[in-house]
Structure 1
Amino acid sequence: MGWRDKISNALSDKGYIAMSIILQATLSSLLSSENTTTFTVFCPPDKAFFTPKYPQPPLTLLKYHIVPTNLDRESLESSLPYESKIDTLLRGHPIVVTTSPRRRHASINDVKVTEWDIYNDGRVIVHEVEDFFDPAFQTLLYPWYNSNNDKNGDNNEGIETTVPVTSGSATSWVKDLVMEKNIVMLLVVVSFGFRPMRSLLFLP
């Protein structure tokens, strides 16, 4: 029995039927072009497939759930700092560690890791997550991670544990965006408010 069959059977035996079938059909082709021999797969449960959003997840979304390095429980719960960037097989679209000291569980892109080591042979590790990772999470809250030009803090495993100083935190970025929208709305209101006065003064 090949390693792909072992992974598929392990997932199937534990009730992850959808991902078992998908990985059986696609895992070899997904990993064939990679230069590394170790991978971590984040596996959504079957119920995640029975939603209008991802009934048949595209290959690009599957790549977003595979990391070309081994990430064990210790790494995700304590070793990797909050907001660490982790590269995936979907080039230019990393996932982000959102485990914080206030939480009692590890999470990625604000999606909880619900079961550890569904499969682990030393080369491939599979963890269960409660839902699919949404690439929009990283794109909207950590847009500076889209750039592959800044390699500061990167190690050989595609993990970046530092956030660029000029970028600020995700929270500050959201606040800046909200502030910008509020300023635009204020200008619109002021502009419309002055129109009646201009008409009374016969101004053009």
Structure 2
Amino acid sequence: MVSKYTLALVLVIVLVHTLPTFQLSAIPTQPREEHILMFKPSDTNAIIEVDGIIKAVWDAGFKIMSLILQNHLRTVVPFGGTYPAGCRLCYATDSVTIYNNNTITIFAPVDESFSDDENWKVLEYQFVTARVDKEGFDSGSVQRGVELLTCDSYCKVLVNGYGSINNVNITHWNIYNDGHIIVHGVQNFFNCNFWKSSKNI
């Protein structure tokens, strides 16, 4: 008998490959106020090829997240699909733009996490508009109690220990890291309710 996980994986592959305009309903398509202030298009930008990111994530074993990033990374990153004037080659290549020397850190959940339909509703919390890396934890710039703004902007996630965010551990450091986009592998999806409940303590 086919497992629930196998069916979920097949469904994701079919959706990602056959519906190029498919949008994850919870991921905002328009940057919100906080993101506009941080990522507003300017002369300072980095144009990053998506192929290297999706290959690194795929090779690390996070295949579902790799497929999602292939078609939706530019949608998730604030102004990620907006290119500088005169950059004709940018439109012809599969790339994403990061403005104002910012960094997006992506926390890729393991494939098994996608077997729960509810997780799709919180996928945007996996994208943080800040540099989060092992060096940050080691130096103390990222430490317990630090709140991180997600690409949803209405929700933050909370660092609650070394390599732990919203009680979810980072298991694969630096799957990809070019200084503007960083990808780590994590055990599961972040739950925004963890941050909200911490504010009520």
| Bin for the TM-score computed over the shorter chain | 0.5 to 0.7
| Separation in structure 1 between the aligned mates of residue 70 and residue 78 of structure 2, nearest angstrom | 14
Tell me the equivalent position of 1:163.
Answer: none
CA contact (8 A) 2:149 2:156 kept: yes
Number of aligned residue pairs: 134
CA contact (8 A) 1:76 1:97 kept: no
Q: How do residues 1-204 of structure 1 correspond to structure 2 at under 5 angstroms?
A: 3-33=49-79, 35-36=99-100, 37-54=102-119, 57-58=120-121, 61-77=122-138, 79=140, 80-99=142-161, 105-143=162-200, 173=201
Task: Give the share of equivalent positions with the same residue, in percent.
Answer: 32
TM-score (norm 1): 0.60
Higher radius of gyration, 1 or 2: 1
RMSD: 1.9
SS state at 2:107 partner? strand
| Separation in structure 2 between the aligned mates of residue 52 and residue 66 of structure 1, nearest angstrom | 19
TM-score (norm 2): 0.61
Structure number with the higher strand fraction is: 2
- Larger RCO (CA under 8 A, 6+ residues apart): 2
Question: Runs of 4+ in structure 1 displaced over 3 angstroms?
Answer: 34-37
Question: What does the per-residue CA deviation read over 1:110-133, in whole Å, with 9 as the maximum and x for residues that have no partner?
Answer: 111111001111211100110000
Contiguous gaps of at least 5 residues in structure 1? 100-104, 144-172, 174-204
